[in-house]
Amino acid sequence: MNPVGADAVTGGADGWPDGTFTNPVLAGFHPDPSVCRVGDDYYLACSSFEYFPGVPLFHSRDLVHWAQIGNVLDRPGQLTLPVDMPSSAGVYAPTLRHHDGRFWLIVTNCADGGGTLVCTATDPAGPWSDPVRVPGVDGIDPDLAWDADGTCWCTYAGIAQVRLDPETGRTVGPVRRLWSGAPGAQAPEAPHLYRIGDHWYLLIAEGGTERGHAVSIARATRPDGPYEPGPANPILTHRGTHRPIQNTGHADLVQGPDGSWWLMLLGVRPGGGTPGWHVLGRETFLAPVTWVDGWPVVGDLAPVMPAPPWAAHPVPPPPVRDDFDADRLHPRWVSVRSRPAEVWSLAERPGWLTLRARGASPDAPDVTFVGRRQQHPSCRVRTVVDPGDGHGGLVVRLDERHHYDIEAGGGEVRVVARIGSVRSTLATRPVGAGPVRLGIEVVAPAPGDWHPAKEPDLLRLGVDRPDGTFDVLAELDGRYLSTEVAGGFTGRVVGMYAARGAVAFDWFDYEPR
């Protein structure tokens, strides 16, 4: 199968509304996508940083519609994220590949001396193996590629490369520098190596994961080089443009069901005035690739894209409500650093999620928290919380130092904002004993409603009154829960927490608006 020279991808086919699809294909904090194809099925993994379980794993039949089927690192024995690790440390960019009947995932845990780890699975939904450590790979963004004689090459940020026995984690021979991208560009990283036609192609990101981010390519006739840079690097960047998708980089190549080529990459959608704030983290986008004279050329990347020439395989959207009636949490629910069995239960009060406080607020690195990624610019979140003798509620968090909370306990509901070193209680409302309906509404501004200091969005935190109206206790500027303010590599996560005692939640609604 030598796809070099395949035609441009145009036109629509079955099941695509208006002959288009929408980018991002995986909205919200899903950065550093790595994708592999097995027959008609595609699998995708991304970074997870301080969240447990780590490395969410998705399945698709059409590269556009993805459903989460698990997490690679979902047992404490596979992933230690110590309480003193900083946010945005932890689990960095994975590479997911299928080789010799097994799925292989190589990834870096930047916390706890974990370093480079390899896990394998026969079923990508799990269970995944305990990690094999790779002490000889001392860098982020490891990639795995096998040549025809079965030699495994591990290529990582730098761009460096070493041969590897992935079964044992032992490296073989010296580490060699392969390429450093454009002269003077920062952070050559995110390498992926592919055998395509007569060449080995080395795809990298450079320029840093911020507005200067770019994708470049080089090729060689052997996996270990020497590498010849592409004639038109970078092959993708949105730097210096007004395009709504920015920071484009960290990409992986994949072939569609018709043999055409596609790039899955990260990008962000900044909002508000200048300099622009992105609040949903780095998201996963899909762009078409054609080949010209043996080099990949990336097509237009936009929020609305021409449908690919194969049938759509939509997946049902996740239900608005999780009523906590199942005996396990869906893989989309994440916690901060760890989720030991003693801090949460679906059985203690059947039909409710019970959380038991460790850290005394969302400021604490060991806060007992169960949440999900905010995936839509505008959305509506609701829960019923029974604080009992404790305190707990809803939080939208970027990290420990940047979050907005609405908390019930002690006969009242209060809204607390933490922005850097400033922490303030903004409103309180007396409520009776027993369960309370708490809510958060995130409202992105209407298009055209712009001024230079305009906020990217507004967050309204409040209480549902018995008559069904939403009593807003505080309306807050969303920029303080953005990456440009908080820093780091993640995005917004919204969920439930316990700050004191045992707090129970009857259900949780997340509804795109």
- Output 21 or 277, the one with its CB closest to ligand 6LW: 277
DSSP letters for 408-462: EETTEEEEEEEETTEEEEEEEEE--SS-EEEEEEEEPPPTT---TT--S-EEEEE
484 catalytically annotated: no
Nearer to ligand 6LW, 48 or 383 (CB): 48
* Sequence-ordered strand ranges (E) for 74-187: 95-99, 102-109, 115-121, 132-133, 143-146, 152-156, 160-165, 170-177
Task: Between 16 and 156, name the residue whose CB sits nearer to ligand 6LW.
Answer: 156
- Which lies closer to ligand 6LW via its Cβ, residue 107 or residue 367? 107
**Contacts (Cβ under 8 Å, ≥6 apart) of 119:** 72, 73, 78, 104, 105, 107, 128, 129, 130, 131, 132
CA 276-280-284 angle, to 5 degrees, is 105
Minimum distance from CB of 190 to ligand 6LW (Å)? 4
Query: Which entry of 50, 62, 143, 189 is annotated as an active-site residue?
Result: 189
Distance of alpha carbon 161 from alpha carbon 141, whole angstroms: 11
Query: Which positions lie near ligand 6LW, rule CB under 6 A?
Result: 31-32, 47, 92-93, 140-141, 189-190, 205, 209, 249-250, 266, 489
What are the percentages of helix, strand and coil residues in the chain, rounded to 5?
5, 45, 50
Distance CA 136, CA 171 (A): 6
DSSP tally for the chain: helices H, then strands E: 1, 39
Single out the residue of 370, 376, 377 nearest to residue 395, CA to CA.
370
Taking the complex as a whole, how short is the minimal distance between the CB of residue 232 and ligand 6LW, in angstroms? Answer: 21
Q: Is 281 helix (H, G, I), strand (E, B) or coil?
A: coil
Alpha carbon 170 to its chain's center: 29
- Rounded-to-integer distance, Cα 219 and Cα 430, Å: 66
Contact 144, 165 (CB under 8 A): no
Q: Is 210 a catalytic residue?
A: no
Nearest-5° Cα angle at 512, 507 to 513:
125
Closest CB to ligand 6LW: residue number = 209
Instruction: List b or e across 193-208, with b for residues whose CB sees 16 or more CB atoms inside 10 angstroms.
Output: bbebeebbbbbbbbbe
Q: Of 205 and 496, which has the nearer Cβ to ligand 6LW?
A: 205
Complex with ligand 6LW: residue 93 or 96, whichever CB lies closer = 93
Residue 252 or 457 with smaller CB distance to ligand 6LW? 252
- Active site residues per annotation: 32, 189
